[in-house]
Chains A and B, each alone.
Chain A
Amino acid sequence: MKRKKFHPSSLYLCAVLLLMYLPVVMVVIYSFNASKSDVQWAGFTLGWYQKMIHNESLMDALRNSLVLGVSSCAISAVIGTVGAVGLAQSDFKTKGLLENVAMLPIMIPEIILGMVFLAFFSFLGLPFGMITLIIAHTAFCIPYIFIVVKGRLAGIDRSIGEAARDLGASEMRMFFDITLPLIAPAILSGSLLAFAMSLDDVVISFFVTGAQTNTLPIKIYSQIKLGVSPEINALCTVMLALTFLLILLSGALTKTKKGKPIKPTISKEANQ
């Protein structure tokens, strides 16, 4: 399709997008505000960024959150993907049930889930800390990856796999050479989402964390006594900038790979 000329519908798209970014832009602007409260504009400053970097407990919490996000996301990516692939090729009687049950944690109010995890871990006698955090986050991250990968697998033409097997490919080879590249975008997007969820979770984290591991969201929400610090605005801005950078980077990466011949056709088929 050739590039179209300007169309009035673009105006609508832009208007709605503008609305979506308005509050985000405010957060960015007020991270440069000299005043401690975000009530009035008191001049430009980079002070909050400086304070943020030198705030040891904030950086500690950030580091904990990143470690937690990456590891729980990675573990649940393996379990969720492997599970979805295994289920897609099988016909256990409990399959349908499992698929339905896997959706459930998404519907249980977080605060209750947190309390259950707390009771459960203390029953098992696990020491609260990074380990319990990772287990709990893995538990609530799995469904996202599982469901997204499952949806992607359902779109893949089984005959491709069968053809490969007919050509003598082993089970392992088939998975790594054919299935995995096809579902990779789903795994990636599921993981990105799981990471975002992990990075945003307060309630469950609070209940399962230990005396020595604070996470970033817990810190933000527990500022209730003395007011939320603008350092948080600064931190959000930095994280937003990083997200955009990541997107640009992945955009550039996909561009350089464009020459590959087979995959686009397959994914087009799979897309239907």
Chain B
Amino acid sequence: MKKILSLVLAAATCAGLLAGCGSGGGSESSAPQSSAAPASEASSEAGGTESGGELNIFTWDGYFPQDVLDGYTEQFGVKINMSNFESNEEMLTKLEAANAGDYDVIVASDYIIDIMRRKGGLLKELDKEKIPNFKNIDPNFQSQFYDPENLYTVPYGPGTPLIVYDPSLVNVDIKGYNDLWNPELKDSVVIMDDARNVIGITLKTMGKSFNETDPAVLDEAKAKLMELKPNIRTLAMNNLQDVILSGEASVGYMFTAQVVMALQANPELKVVYPEEGMGFGIDNLIVPLNAPHEDNAFSFINYILEPEVGAKVSSQIMYLCPNKESAPYLPEEYKNNAALYIPSDVLGNTEFIQDVGEATELYDKIWTEFKQQ
């Protein structure tokens, strides 16, 4: 939409050039020149389908530490090409059009992998002979709904959204989601801009599941959610920690990495494991069915599962560590972080957010209404 505006900008520059001096661009006729060079470069790039010394990774930016990537390249002589997406949905749209090819390793979230598995024809079964380190995976993060038999996935970034607050600004003793409704927190809560998570915690306060589909229950949840509105300072997807650190809000419900960053910047902040039960999510490594460099994909996954490498990854991307052999290599700072080292008896009763089928539409409607002022 903003494009229509830019036309006017063009007009402006045009007028500016004219007004500035009548003889403006006499020599500009040579503008269209360098069109041939990039085309040839592109064709050489496009031809890289045969298995060779390359690996195409598809993920969010910054989700693999640079030293880990460099380490792999050094050891195996494989050139890594990184490309990025902003959301799981974008990734799947893209992968379908590429006929489940083009990419070798993708990092994606649990629910989208579930959809991919149910759709069929998108995921490649992992060749565990080529991934001897598969045994290093902590079974707590395996056999989940999206891959019950552990055929397609290797857990990479498990995390649980948590409540974090600034005790110097909050007089409420926050124990769970329900405390976010406390009238004392008027206009001071920051929460992720995501329908399923926010409606999910509302359902949790009612003793229901994150994945409720009963319209009557969802209607009740809607009524309750509307009561949360006066407390909401802002909804956001990125840099939620900054909202707390800048004093804009005093309580937040946010994703693991954001909680960790908030704690690193201000150790005085308090982390809450919500008593109603925590949500949980795992981003996994997967290999698409028609990956062009399959062997490199498996060797890369195997490399990531090395105990030392796994420790490097988890401590830098700030998610829980799914590698049970990595413990000795994890830095103290990581182990002392309340958002990362969650007592297992607390972590026990977590729940994944899963696809709710028909009810998706209801969730969207509730969310649209909630976000209207």
Q: Which residues of A contact B (CB under 8 A)?
A: 37-40, 57, 67-68, 70-71, 74-75, 77-78, 105-107, 109-110, 115, 118-119, 121-122, 127-131, 133-134, 140, 143-144, 147-148, 151-152, 176, 180-181, 184-193, 196-197, 202, 206-207, 209-214, 218-219, 221-229, 251, 254-255, 257-258, 260, 263-268, 271
Contacts and interface: CB of A to CB of B under 8 A. Distances in A.
B1 interface: yes
Interface in B58-102: 58, 60-63, 81-87, 90, 93-94, 97-99, 102
Contacts, number: 238
Given A176-B29, A185-B24, A148 B11 contact: yes
A190 B28 CA distance: 12
B239 interface: yes
A185 B60 contact: no
Contacts of B265: 37, 39
A200 to B, nearest CB: 9
A134 to B, nearest CB: 7
A131 B39 contact: yes
6 contacts: A128-B46, A210-B46, A210-B102, A218-B85, A224-B86, A267-B24
Contacts of A221: 86
Closest 9 CB pairs of A and B: A130-B42, A264-B22, A222-B84, A189-B13, A211-B56, A189-B14, A184-B25, A193-B10, A225-B60
A131 B35 CA distance: 11
B114 to A, nearest CB: 20
Nearest to B265: A37
Contacts of A133: 42
Nearest to B283: A225
A267 B18 contact: yes
Nearest to A220: B61
Given A185-B14, A254-B23, 10 more contacts: A37-B239, A75-B32, A128-B46, A129-B42, A144-B10, A184-B26, A185-B18, A206-B86, A222-B86, A226-B62
Contacts of A78: 32
Interface in B353-373: none
Contacts of B32: 74-75, 77-78
A37 B60 CA distance: 19
A82 B24 CA distance: 20
Given A75-B35, A222-B61, A254-B20, A148 B10 contact: yes
Contacts of A219: 61, 84
Contacts of B198: none
B46 A190 contact: no
Contact of B29 (A106, A127, A180, A265): A180
